[in-house]
Structure 1
């Protein structure tokens, strides 16, 4: 019995060797599938840009959150929408979704199609024209953006993998996609799901420079997505650049220069914040010079003098009113938020009355507020230093900087056009610092400055969740020997 089993085993092994030797690696024939042109009569096409209008009409007229296209028994009556693929999941930054826009250039509408299948890029490559059969599908909002899928109550779920070819028809046309130039201020919900180009942008220097330079999404605190601050060199405003923690390039360090980024305009998971997402990092071209302000860096001084050139602890301010008097210039460059006097107890207690600015629930697309000291002549004495205290109530992605200018003319409206240099030696509270504490700036040395000039605190934020932080400022003293 044992001998019979042994001979069976030898026979099976011999057969396996023979079969394996007949087919070498990479010699399998890959079937070439010819993709045919899709011919759908124009009267059965529903433009992508019309899907949003139809959904809004359904919401207004019938109060429904989604709109379902009921299937007809006669397939010749099926309705379709058509678009060009702008997503690519090859690098893992998209998953089980296909993004289509209605034209290869100058698009006016885009839609996300949820599909329970991955990867999709091999069949639905970038630029491929695709027809989507609407009958049996539902249009709604998923994470705030226009989406097609299968109805699930008042939401939209993924099309099953086995059913995707019932709904998606590939055309033989593959077009070059031309990114649509756009600025942060031009972001709208109607422009989500479009392939866009951002010009003259850079990552925030606190994230892209120095010893603590960040990766796209490989930091310990990154969960699901890594969110980085992308700045406009033209307007000084910011938006969120988002990368999945499943992306192949999540561990790549952020580029340090400025330039262009081609990507997709979308919203975050909660549908509250505009995000830019790329298919891969080949469309990030940040090789130019950064547009950060120049620096005036005298370092930190070991001591401070006893001659007070300027000081304000804000105790004479009226609570809840804009900071005024004492030579201050309180200027709103963008938005509605201004520096105000503020007092609070509890965990995040103020230092008596403090100066406060924040954009939480402001509704501002951009919030930029300046608080500028009176002019100081640095030639009249020696050993000038600056000291102040800062705290925050969750800074989020909003920023506070302390700056110096020698060429501002004193006219508030001219503040943005003056040359302002950063005082990098000054410590300003960060988002990671405990919100209940106050932090000293250090003895910021100003003795290398000559002539006259102004010191300013500049706040940049917005009413959007990731940039709506609050800062407090107090105990400002400029002294000399």
Structure 2
């Protein structure tokens, strides 16, 4: 026990000594000449081949390759200096246009002191000839999956844990090469498991409008927080995960639009991003917020006027929507009923634009009349059958009564006729005693130029 404690203390002292030499932003390390490791080509394999070894359970690299030597090489893309990444070293197979990447779990902080971004490294998955810090045979590493992400680390029973603090430099060998890492540019529509642990760049991004003004993380505690980014091209949402231990957790998140560079990751079925520091967030452009939007997440229809022309049934806020909120109308109540009900937006100010576009989503349940869409510029708040000049518009509505969870995008609906003034949009629902469908409306947005 005393011997183990001494070795652990010495190892940690070594790491701390290296870290104490780092004061500037270039992650400089002590002036130590790095010699290129002499690793034979026949002992090396690729990150892609190693990842393909995973078949749903622990991969023991001591049992692979007939127990022979096995190394992978890659380029460091992680950086834990700001504290947003913790005890991990992430590498990809090429500095530009990579094809595979992997995460190593290491029981050491301040790894950036030795392995700065772009540093080429060799990972000893198994080598019977190498020794650990105690002079014993270096144990083989293993690989397993946690929450959708493959990890390489020390074998602990039927899974893997972190590589020990006093042996990590036996497993992770620096090359003399330090490359310039070029982030792989992808779009949200391209997100897939193929990009996990790669350094990526995503353009046309901004913080969601509901979170503008918030800091990167939890300023008052150490809990990790998810922020949500919107893509201005496809309106998709992406999670950015920030640690409660990050140095920048209390800084305001930039409110503009631009590009983000991050390590691409996943948690179960959700793709997410990890920035290394705030320099990875380049949101200095103008935001792309719509002039009007309602995802009905506020739990009401306060942005709308509901008007029932015929029937007792009315438009209502529904918690069972897309995925859990919508405006809903059904003419069924212990049987089919005659109804004509309008859902009319409050005035949407288009005074500063010359053209405008409306988008939304619908889903239909049960047989009945299809819904209709109208626009108006002179509605005064009364009965829409006599108040205002309503013009019917063409859009794509869900008409498949069997598609209970398949929402239909409206497509771009031109509402430029209202540019320079106020716009009112309306969804007109009708039902009869013969048939009454249920319609849900969600994610209504109006954009102007």
TM range (shorter): 0.5 to 0.7
Question: Equivalent residue for 2:346?
Answer: none
C-alpha displacement at 1:143, in angstroms?
3.2
Question: What residue number does 1:176 align with?
Answer: 180
Give the structure 2 partner of residue 150 of structure 1: 154
Aligned to 2:218: 218
1:51-70 alignment, distance < 5 Å: 51-56=50-55, 59=56, 65-70=57-62
Aligned-pair CA distance for 1:31? 6.0
Residues 417-467 of structure 1 deviation map (CA, whole Å, 9 limit, x = unaligned)? 23579xxxxxxxxxxxxxxxxxxxxxxxxxx736x74469xxxxxxxxxxx
Matched residue, 1:254: 253
Determine if the alignment matches structure 1 residue 100 to structure 2 residue 91.
yes
2:169 aligns with: 165
CA shift in 2, pair 1:308/1:128, >3 Å: same
1:272 paired residue number? 269
- For 1:181 and 1:138, the matched residues in 2 are separated by 31
For the structure 1 residues 473 and 148, does the alpha-carbon distance in structure 2 shift closer, same or farther, using more than 3 Å as the test?
same
User: What pairs with 1:18-417 in structure 2 (closer than 5 Å)?
Assistant: 32-56=31-55, 59=56, 65-70=57-62, 77-135=68-126, 136-208=140-212, 213-218=213-218, 224-268=223-267, 271-295=268-292, 312-313=314-315, 314-317=329-332, 338=363, 340=365, 374-379=373-378, 382-383=380-381, 409-412=393-396, 415-417=410-412
State the shift of 1:165 in Å. Answer: 1.6
Quote the RMSD (CA, aligned, Å): 4.1
- Deviations 1:189-242, CA, capped at 9 Å, x for gaps: 22100000001011101101xxxx21111256x763110111111111111011
Q: Per-residue deviation at 1:249?
A: 0.5
Q: 1:197 to 1:190 in 2, by over 3 A?
A: same
**Cα displacement string for residues 317-374 of structure 1 (whole angstroms, at most 9, x for unaligned residues):** 489x9xx98689xx9988xx83558xxxxxxxxxxxxxxxxxxxxxxxxxxxxx9753
Tell me, yes or no, if the aligned pair for 1:407 and 1:453 is still in contact at 8 Å: no
Contact 1:94 1:279 in 2 (8 A): yes
Q: Could you say if the C-alpha distance between residues 385 and 285 of structure 1 is closer, same or farther in structure 2, counting changes exceeding 3 Å?
A: farther
Distance 2:202 2:289 in 1: 17
Q: What's the offset of the Cα at 1:34? A: 0.4
TM-score normalized by the length of structure 1: 0.60
CA contact 2:372–2:392 (8 Å) conserved in 1:
no
Q: In 1, are the aligned partners of 2:198 and 2:264 still within 8 Å (CA)?
A: yes
Pick aligned residue for 1:449 from 422, 428, 443? 422
Partner of 2:433: none
Consecutive unaligned residues of structure 2, counting only runs of 5 or more, are 1-20, 22-28, 127-139, 295-300, 316-328, 344-357, 385-389, 398-408, 429-438, 443-449
Normalised by the size of structure 2, how large is the TM-score?
A: 0.64
Counterpart CA distance in 2 for 1:230 and 1:50 is 33
For the structure 1 residues 307 and 147, does the alpha-carbon distance in structure 2 shift closer, same or farther, using more than 3 Å as the test?
closer
Note closer, same or farther for the CA distance 1:339–1:291 as it changes in structure 2 (3 Å cut): farther
The SS at the match of 2:54 is: helix
Give the secondary structure class of the aligned counterpart of 1:412: coil
Deviation of 1:295 after TM superposition, in Å, equals: 4.1
Change (3 A) 1:161 1:183: same
Cα deviations across residues 67-97 of structure 1 (Å, max 9, x unaligned)? 111179x99x521011100000000001111
